[in-house]
């Protein structure tokens, strides 16, 4: 994929090294406060403080302060394109802005206003408006704070574990999450989350349809990159390979040797490829109405 080296986006928040939370000083103060209000009173509060420091609390507080300083430096110091994985951060920044520019134009053509999402880079685990997220769970979008979260180590997993290498495979992941941001702004996500659990779950449930629509939206962005001459030979195949690699059926078969359609959340490999390809080939959001599709 052709992209601008050295690119930086104001919508990328680099919080790598900032730590993923824990008890910390604020947690200790809250615990003491609650104990003071309980029947245990001062006795319970003093025991909690003693236990905290006996278990290495002071060392934890000092290391937490170092982590906060590291995170503050990452965000406010040299910008998102410095340090480890600098070129990858630049690439993520470029794809993020390019995808959002695509949707800003699409919204404007339909008399709508597109509001940018932020993308948070983290290491290990992070706190979001939707609760804690971890590298193990993969990239995710939180509609409550309108942010995409990603640990860059996921891209190494995508290559080595899932067999989907290439920069366009990485770009597909971002475009899919921005697809969820589009759904959030259009009110699609809220309708799904307000539906009954029975309607959301299962191989043809609303949750799977929501994910497949995000794949289709990623394909729409891919269609735009072709018109802007950003695609290189093999890029689309990389995107399709990534979509196939993270289908529910393939992931379940790898993890436990069996496939349980009733527990699907994102759709099969074949379905994810089909809807990404549909968006790419047609380049029209109207082609991405998975909720009215009789067959996914």
Residues 235 and 93 in one domain: yes
Residue 66 lies in a domain: yes
Same domain, 103 and 231: yes
First to last CA, the chain: 29
Q: Which pLDDT score is estimated for 43?
A: 62
Name the domain count of the chain.
2
φ/ψ of residue 134, rounded to 5: -135, 160
State whether 91 and 156 are in the same domain: yes
**Cα(263)–Cα(248) distance, integer angstroms:** 9
Q: How far is Cα 107 from Cα 216, in angstroms, rounded to an integer? A: 16
Q: What is the pLDDT of residue 18?
A: 73
State whether 33 and 90 are in the same domain: no
CA distances (Å), 52 to each of 31, 38, 45, 61, 177, in order? 11, 18, 11, 10, 40
Same domain membership, residue 204 and residue 154: yes
On whether both 116 and 153 belong to a single domain, the answer is: yes
The reply to whether 116 and 198 lie within a common domain is: yes
Give the single-character DSSP code of 132: E
Residue 79 included in any domain? no
* Sign of torsion over alpha carbons 193, 102, 112, 291: negative
Q: Are 204 and 166 in contact (CB under 8 A)?
A: no
Residue 103 falls inside a structural domain: yes
CA angle, residues 15, 20, 26, in degrees to nearest 5: 110
266 and 214 co-located in one domain: yes
Q: What is the pLDDT of residue 45?
A: 54
Mind listing the pLDDT tens digit of every residue in the chain (296 residues)? 999 999 999 999 999 987 554 444 444 454 444 445 555 666 655 665 665 555 544 444 444 444 444 444 344 334 444 566 999 999 999 999 999 999 999 999 999 999 999 999 999 999 999 999 999 889 999 999 999 999 999 999 999 999 999 999 999 999 999 999 999 999 999 999 999 999 999 999 999 999 999 999 999 999 999 999 999 999 999 999 999 999 999 999 999 999 999 999 999 999 999 999 999 999 999 999 999 999 99
Query: Residues 102, 106, 107, CA angle at the centre, nearest 5°?
Result: 120
Identify the domain containing residue 56 by its residue range: 24-72
State how far the alpha carbon of 207 is from the alpha carbons of 220, 254, 273, 290, in Å: 20, 22, 17, 11
Instruction: Please report whether residue 162 resides in a domain.
Output: yes
Residue in 220, 225, 234, 218 with CA at minimum distance from that of residue 266: 218
Residues 134 and 197 in one domain: yes
132 to each of 65, 68, 124, 136, how far by Cα in Å?
Answer: 20, 17, 11, 12
Give Cα separations from 85 to 16, 82, 156 (angstroms): 11, 8, 11
């Amino acid at each position: 994929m052709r992209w601008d080296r050295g690119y930086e986006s104001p919508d990328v928040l680099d919080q790598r090294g900032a730590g993923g939370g824990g008890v910390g000083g604020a947690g200790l103060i809250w615990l003491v406060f609650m104990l003071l209000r309980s029947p245990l009173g001062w006795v319970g509060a003093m025991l909690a403080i003693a236990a905290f420091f006996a278990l290495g609390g002071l060392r934890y507080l000092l290391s937490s302060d170092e982590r906060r300083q590291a995170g503050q430096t990452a965000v406010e110091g040299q910008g998102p394109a410095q340090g480890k994985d600098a070129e990858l951060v630049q690439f993520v920044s470029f794809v993020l802005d390019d995808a959002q520019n695509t949707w800003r134009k699409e919204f404007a053509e339909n008399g709508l206003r597109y509001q940018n999402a932020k993308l948070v880079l983290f290491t290990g685990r992070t706190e979001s408006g939707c609760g804690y997220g971890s590298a193990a769970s993969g990239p995710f979008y939180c509609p409550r704070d309108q942010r995409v979260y990603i640990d860059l180590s996921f891209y190494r997993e995508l290559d080595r574990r899932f067999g989907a290498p290439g920069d366009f495979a990485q770009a597909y992941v971002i475009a899919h999450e921005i697809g969820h941001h589009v759904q959030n702004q259009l009110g699609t996500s809220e309708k799904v989350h307000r539906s009954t659990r029975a309607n959301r779950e299962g191989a043809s449930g609303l949750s799977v349809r929501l994910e497949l629509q995000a794949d289709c939206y990623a394909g729409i962005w891919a269609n735009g990159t072709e018109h802007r001459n950003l695609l290189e030979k093999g890029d689309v195949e990389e995107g399709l390979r990534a979509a196939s690699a993270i289908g529910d059926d393939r992931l379940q078969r790898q993890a436990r040797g069996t496939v349980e359609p009733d527990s699907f959340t994102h759709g099969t490999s074949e379905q994810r490829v089909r809807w990404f390809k549909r968006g790419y080939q047609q380049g029209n959001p109207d082609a991405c109405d998975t909720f009215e599709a009789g067959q996914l």
